[in-house]
Structure 1
Amino acid sequence: MENLSSLQEKGVTFMDAHSTPLCAPSRYMLLSGNYSHRGKYANGGWGLYVGQTNLDRRQKSIPHMLKASGYKTANVKYHLGGGVPEGGTYDNEKLTCCNLDWSKPMVGGPTDLGFDESFYTIGGIQQPPYSFFRDGYLTTDISDVKYWEKGEYDTANNNGKSIINKAGEGDPDWDSTEFNMRIVQEVENFLEKHDQTSPFFIYTALGQVHIPHSPPNFYLDGTPIAGTHNNKHLDLLYEMDKVIGSLISSVESRGMMENTLVIFASDNGGLNKRYPNRLLRGAKGQIYEGGHRVPFVMRYDGVLPSGERRNNLIGLNDVFATIAEFTGSTIPDRSAQDSISFAQHAISEDNVSRRKKLGTWDIQDGIMQAESLRLGNYKYIKHHSQPKKHELFNIQDDIKEEKNLLETDPTNTSYHRLKRLMRRKLHRIGPCPRDKNASKEFKLYNGANKGKKVTCDWFRSNPEVRCKNQVAGELFCNSICGRHRHFCNL
C-alpha cells in the first residue's frame, strides 16, 4: 500500500484513535463531534426513512461550521440515512412506490447536513436503492428503474463482476465494481471546477471494504486489481490504496497541497480476526480494541511534521474541534459537545492531547450490547448481554485484552476502586447518566443562561423548552431530558 505509506511518511500517524464499532454511528460521530447516542438514532441512520438525518435539530455539522467560514463543501458517498421526498412514504427502500415524487429532493440528506454539493448512494453498495443521488435528487430516470435480483452480473465494460447481495430496485446500469472509481472521478470534477482562491472541504467516504467484495479487473490507470492478491478483501484494500493516490494527486497537481489538510481514517475497526477469541464474547467482540481502534493519518505540509507518530488518545468526534482550530472557525452553539481539539498534539508530541477519557458504546438494533471507557492506560468494559458483566484491562501492557485485572488480581482493592470510578464516569457521558441529587447544583453550558447554577428541578419545571436547548439537561438529568431512556432499563 505505497500511497498510504507515503501519506504516513509525509504526515502524522495516530496510534490510539477510535471510532464506534459500527460505520453509520461513526460517521455521525465524525461529522457532529458527538458520541453516537447524541444523535436521533443511537446506532446510526440507515437507508431511506420518512424522517430526517441523524443530527438533532440543534446540532450543526463540520460542513455547517466551515460554510460559515466561507468554505465550499462537498460530499461524495454518504451512508448517513435520510428521508424520502416530502409527501411520500417508505416501503423497503423501493423507488417506484408509495407516492414518491423524485422531481423533489430527498429530505434530510447531505444538503440539510451543510453540503453545497453531493454525489452519493444511501446504502453504499450493500443495499438498495442501487442508484446515485446528486444534491438530493435521484439521478436515475424513474421510468428506467430496474429490480435487481440477488446474484452476480457481467459489467457493461467487462471490468469485473457486479454483485447484488440484497435484492432491490436501482439504476439499470448499476455496477458495484466501479463504485470507488466513480467517487474518484467526482472529486476530480469538483476540484477541476473549484475556484482555487477560495477554501473547500470534501468529505469522501469510500466503498471499501464493505461487502459485496467486487473488485474491478482494472483501476482507472489500467493497473490490475482483481486477482492480484489471495482474496477479494485484499484486492479491495489494494484498490483503496490506488484511490488514496488518485485523491492526493488531484490536490498536488493543482498546487494546493501546501494549504490542504488531509485526514485519512476508518469508520470502524471491523471484526478482529487476529484475536478470534475476541469475537466470541459480547457483541462479536466489537467493544474490544479490534472493533473500534482505527487507522488515522493527517498530512498538512508546512504545519505538521513528516513521518511522526502520536500515541495519545483521540476519537473521531475530536476531528470537529481540531478542524475548527486549524481553520480558525467557531464551533456552533450546542454542537460538538464531545469534541476536543488535538491540533496542538498533532503539531508536536510535546503538546499532550487534552483528551483523558473516551467512551465507546456497542449498540445494535436499538439494544445496548456493551460499553467501555478508556481512562489513561486503563479500559473498563461493562457488558449487558452476557454473564461476565465487568472487565478491566491495562491497554498499554495488554493490547489483546486477555487479562481481566478484576479476575487475575481479585484481591487488589485499587482495581475495584478504579472500576467504580470509571463506571461513574462512563455513566456520566453515556446515553443514560444518573441524575444529580435534587439539591446538587451544576452550571449550564450554553445558551442565554450559560453559567447559571441549577438543579434538575430547573429542567423539570419546563422540560419541553429547557431540555431541547440545554446540553446539561441530557448530561445530568437523564430521567427528565434523556432521549434514550430505554437503555437505562438495562
Structure 2
Amino acid sequence: MNGFLGFVCFLVLAFLTLFSCVEKRNPNIVLINVDDLGWKDLGFMGSTYYETPNLDKLAGQGMVFYDAYAAAANCAPSRACMMSGRNTPRHGVYTVDNSARGDAKTRQLIPTPNRKFLPDSIYTLAMMLRDHGYVNGTFGKWHINEDPLKHGFHVNVGGSHRGNPGGGGYVSPYKIDFIENGPEGEYLTDRLTDEAIRFIEANKETPFFLYLPFYSVHTPIMGKQELVEAFAEKPGTEGQDRADYAAMVASVDQNVGRLMAVLDGLNLAANTLVIFTSDNGGIRDISYQTPLRAGKGSYYEGGIRVPLLMRWPGTIQAGSTTDVPVTNMDFYPTIKTIIGAEDRPHIQLEGRNLAPLFRNQDLEERALFWHFPIYLQAYNPKEDGGRDPLFRTRPGSVMRKGKWKLHHYFEQNEYELYDLEKDPGEIRNLAKSKPAIRDQLIQLLEDWRKEVHAPVPNQANPLYDREFETNLIKSIVNEN
C-alpha cells in the first residue's frame, strides 16, 4: 500500500512539475511589420476600399492602438529604432543612404551625415530573446545590416541590406538576397509566409520569435492579377482607389490569416503575443490617410502614425482599444518585461513597457520625440502634403505630449504647434496664439536633445540659392 501511495505521490509530483514548467514557458512572439502600410489602409482602421477581413478579425481578438507611431518616418531608421529600442540620435540611422537629398541649391544647411546600418555594438531585441532561450527567425525585409544572423537571428529568409524587392521583384525569380527561387510566378508575400509557417511548425515545442517584415506594400506596386481585377470593379474613395495597391494589401491580409490559422491549429495562440504594425506611414501619392496630413518621409501625422494591434488571448482583452500614444520603440521593453529579462546597465532602452495597458491600467503621460537632421526630397509635390513642395522632410525635430504636437525646423528656427484632438490634419498652426504651451514644449524638446546628444546642423550650405529655390517653388505651385 505504501508503495502504491508513493507511486501516486510520484505521479502527482510529476504532473505538478510538468504543469509548472508549462505554465512558466515564455510566450512566443510574432512581430509582423508591413512596409509602408498607411494608418488608414485597413478595414478596422476605417478604410471602406481595402478589404482586410483577417486583420479585422485579429483586431477584434486583441487591442487596437489608435495613436501608435513609428519612431521614424521611413524604413531603415524606424526598423533600427524598433530593433534597438533606442531613438535615432542614439544610433545615427536617420534615413536611407544619403542625408543630403534633393537639389543642393534648395538646401540651406549641411545635413548631419547618416549612418547606413545599425552599429554592431547594439544589443538588439533578437539578441535579448536569443539569450533567453528563444529560437529566432526573420522572413522578409531586414534593411539595417547586411545579415540578420549576425544580430540575434538563427534563421533568415530574404533579409539583407536591401530596402525593396527590386523592379518586378514580387514574383519568382526573385531579386533579393538569402532566398531560393520558387516556381516561376510565385508571389513573394505568399512565399515568405510559407517559410514563416515552416518555422513555426519546426519550433512549436520551444519559445520562438517570428519576425515577419513583409516587403509588401513597398513599391513597386505589384498585386496578384486576380486580386487587381477584383478591385478594379470596386468604387474607391478619395485617395484610396488603386486596385493594384488594394491587391497588395489583400495579399498581406490573406497571409496573416494563414499564419493565425496555423497558430490556432497547433494550439499555440493562447501562448503567443502577436504584434501587427507598419514601419512608417503610407505614401500619400498611393493612398491618402485622411484626416492625417502627408505621408512617408514627413513628420506630420500621416508620415509617422501607423496601424498597430496586439493579440494575446487571456492576457489582452479581446475587442479593446486605446488612444494612449505609443511607439515601436516600446516593443523591446514590453517584451523584455514579459519574459522577465534582467536589466543590463549598458543598455538604455528609450521606450516603455506597455503591459499595464493589457490590464486596463493607466500609464503616466509622457512626451514622444523624433529627430531628423536631414533632407528628404518630395515624392510628388502635388500630393505629398508636406511643409513645402520640394521636401517631405527638412532638418528638424518633432515632439508630442498629450494632445499637443510641436515641430521645430532648423533652417529658419521656425516652430509649428498643433492641437491633435481638434486638428489631426495639422492645418492650424497655434505657435503664435499659444505661446505658453509652445515655450513649455520647446524647453522639453531642448532638454531631450541635450540628453541624447542629438546633432543640430547649423553649417550653411554654400551651394544654396534662395532665388532658385523660390522660383522652383513658384513653378510647382503654379502647375497645381
Q: TM-score range by the shorter chain?
A: 0.5 to 0.7
User: Does 2:127 align with 1:119?
Assistant: no
What is the CA–CA distance in structure 1 between the aligned matches of 2:292 and 2:120, rounded to whole Å? 41
Distance 2:77 2:127 in 1: 19
Instruction: Identify if the C-alpha distance between structure 1 residues 112 and 17 changes in structure 2 by more than 3 Å, giving closer, same or farther.
Output: same
Indicate which of 27, 45, 63 corresponds to 2:79.
27
Alignment of 1:49-448 (within 5 A): 54-83=117-146, 109-122=147-160, 126=164, 178-194=187-203, 196-217=204-225, 224-230=226-232, 231-272=243-284, 273-274=288-289, 278-279=293-294, 286-348=298-360, 351-354=361-364, 356-362=366-372, 364=374, 369-384=395-410, 389-407=414-432, 409=433, 415-430=434-449, 433=450
Secondary structure of 1:226's partner?
Answer: helix
In structure 1, C-alpha distance between the alignment counterparts of 2:54 and 2:123, rounded to whole Å:
33
1:184 maps to a residue whose letter is T
C-alpha contact 1:43 1:363 (8 A) present in aligned 2: no
Mark the CA change 1:176 to 1:270 in structure 2 (over 3 Å): closer, same or farther.
farther
Q: State the alpha-carbon separation in 2 of the partners of residues 154 and 286 from structure 1.
A: 26
Task: Give % identity.
Answer: 22
1:406 to partner: Cα distance: 2.2
Name the residue aligned to 1:94.
Answer: none
Equivalent residue runs for 1:464-483 within 5 Å? 475=451, 478=453
Q: Deviations over 1:343-373 (max 9, x none)?
A: 111321xx12245110123454699533211
Asked if 2 retains the 8 angstrom alpha-carbon contact of 1:268 and 1:291, the reply is: yes
Does the C-alpha gap of structure 1 residues 10 and 320 become closer, same or farther in structure 2, counting only changes over 3 Å? same
Counterpart secondary structure, 1:252: helix
RMSD (Å), alpha carbons: 3.4
Deviations 1:223-263 (A, max 9, x none): x4232213211111111110110111121111100100000
* Cα separation, 1, equivalents of 2:418 and 2:136: 41
**Does the CA contact (< 8 Å) of 1:267 and 1:294 recur in 2?**
yes
Report the CA distance between 1:153 and its aligned residue: 9.4
Structure 1 unaligned runs (5+)? 47-51, 84-108, 129-149, 157-161, 218-223, 410-414, 434-474, 479-483
* SS in structure 1 of the partner of residue 428 of structure 2: coil
Q: Is the 8 A contact 1:163 1:176 kept in 2?
A: no
How far off is 1:298 after superposition? 0.3
Partner letter of residue 422 of structure 2? D
Letter in 2 for 1:211: T
In the TM superposition, residue 323 of structure 1 has moved relative to its aligned partner by 0.7
Paired residues in the alignment total 363
Structure-2-length-normalised TM-score: 0.68
One-letter identity of the residue aligned with 1:118: N
- Cα deviation digits, residues 257-276 of structure 1 (max 9, x gap): 01000000111112343459
Distance change >3 Å, CA 355–CA 154, structure 1 → 2? closer
The aligned residue for residue 9 of structure 1 is 60
- Tell whether the 8 Å contact from 1:53 to 1:80 is kept in structure 2 after alignment: no
C-alpha separation between the residues in 1 aligned to 2:296 and 2:340?
Answer: 41
User: 1:133-161: per-residue Cα shift (whole Å, max 9, x none)?
Assistant: xxxxxxxxxxxxxxxxx6x69967xxxxx
Q: 1:289 to 1:201 in 2, by over 3 A?
A: same
Does the residue aligned with 2:309 lie in a helix, a strand or coil? strand
8 Å Cα contact 1:363/1:369 also seen in 2: yes
Contact 2:278 2:306 in 1 (8 A): yes
- Paired with 2:161 and 2:297, the residues of 1 have a C-alpha distance of 24
Match of 1:438 in 2: none
Matched-pair contact (CA < 8 Å) for 1:251–1:257? yes
Taking the aligned partners of 1:13 and 1:395, their CA distance within structure 2 comes to: 19
| Distance (whole Å) between structure 2 residues aligned to residue 363 and residue 243 of structure 1 | 37
Deviation at 1:285, TM superposition (A): 7.3
Question: 2:186 & 2:94 partners in 1: Cα distance?
Answer: 31
Match of 1:143 in 2: none
Change over 3 Å in CA distance of 1:121–1:66 after alignment to 2: closer
Secondary structure at 1:263 match in 2: strand
Instruction: Identify the residue that residue 462 of structure 1 maps to in structure 2.
Output: none
For 2:19, the equivalent position in structure 1 comes to none
Shift of the 155–209 alpha-carbon distance from structure 1 to 2, 3 Å rule, reads closer
Q: Which moved more, 1:256-265 or 1:338-347?
A: 338-347
- Partner amino acid, structure 2, of 1:261: L
Contact 1:356-1:375 within 8 A present in 2 as well: yes
Measure how far apart 1:383 and its partner are. Answer: 1.9
Amino acid in the other structure paired with 1:110: P
CA-CA distance at 1:335 after TM superposition: 2.5
Q: TM-score with structure 1 length normalisation?
A: 0.66
- Stretches of structure 2 that go unaligned for 5 or more consecutive residues are 1-51, 99-114, 233-242, 377-392, 461-480
Q: For the Cα contact (< 8 Å) 1:24–1:45, is it kept in 2?
A: no
